[in-house]
Amino acid sequence: MLEVNKIYNADCLELLPIIDDSSIDLILTDPPFLYLKNQKLERSFNEVEFFTQAYRILKDNGFIAVFGRGESFYRWNVIMANLGFKFKEEIIWDKGRTTSPVLPLSRKHETVSVYTKKNGKIRRCYVPYLEKKTSIETIEADINRLKAILNNPDELEEIRRYITTGEKKFSENKKVTKFKTSVQDTGSSSRAENVFAAFRRGGQESDIIRVVKNVYKAIHPTEKPVRLLERILSVLSDEGALVLDPFCGSGSTCEAARNTGRNYIGVEIDEEYYTGAKKRLDLKLF
């Protein structure tokens, strides 16, 4: 087994066989997309062997989350499905601004496919209010709700009770719609409680995560923001989990794991990016 909380300068396919069976809680990684031209980071790799090893080393309740786009990304999804991984979710990274201004269609997102080996469960997490509410329109909507609450004695009483107890009061949702959905069968709390809950504990994490990339401080051309990775880590793992990034580039996944109380193993084949990642994490070269 590899030593944890270290980054290794190696081909991941040479190190993955050393990792014990069913020992990794989460693989969070950004493999080469294989569509960029004249980029040293675009190294081809044995995709079937990589995902086969990933399946072996993941715990039954573990996850693999893979960034990607284009033909290679959809090919990886097919490979994972054929190997027995179970699809759980798709996360969209909203970059907040275009990364390809010369293209006729402005590109502002990347996709993350989330699979579990067998029975992984996604965690319910909350994001601070002002980090979750990223548009003036959503904040304005909450302000309008607050104005309506102040003129409604019943809703004010609901708020008083919620502030005192910290518990929401749920009522059965009897709404009948043409198309039956799971939402129709659940209970709901008052809008007053929901607004104050968002202020108190933040908004529930969603499948679209908006984090703007700081391109001026990036070490790697396709580096992901640490805060984006922290939020993904929170919904796919617990504190103390062991996180593996086999294509760790500048080490942002490793930094996010450390920041959130997780252990990590990073592997980077390119010596320049490896050295930058080591410097970033203030670790001694070995």
Convert the pLDDT of each residue in 33-54 to its tens digit. Answer: 766 556 655 678 999 999 999 9
| Token duo for residue 58 | 């993941």
Asked whether 159 and 233 are in contact (CB, 8 A), the reply is: no
In this prediction the pTM is 0.81
Domain boundaries, the chain: 6-125+206-280, 133-204
Cα separations in angstroms, 147 against 143, 144, 150, 189, 266: 6, 5, 5, 18, 50
Higher pLDDT, residue 285 or 196 = 196
Unique residue bearing structure tokens 């302000």: 143
CATH number of 6-125+206-280: 3.40.50.150
pLDDT tens for residues 217-265? 666 667 899 999 999 999 999 999 999 999 999 999 999 999 999 999 9
Cβ proximity of 130 and 94 under 8 Å = no
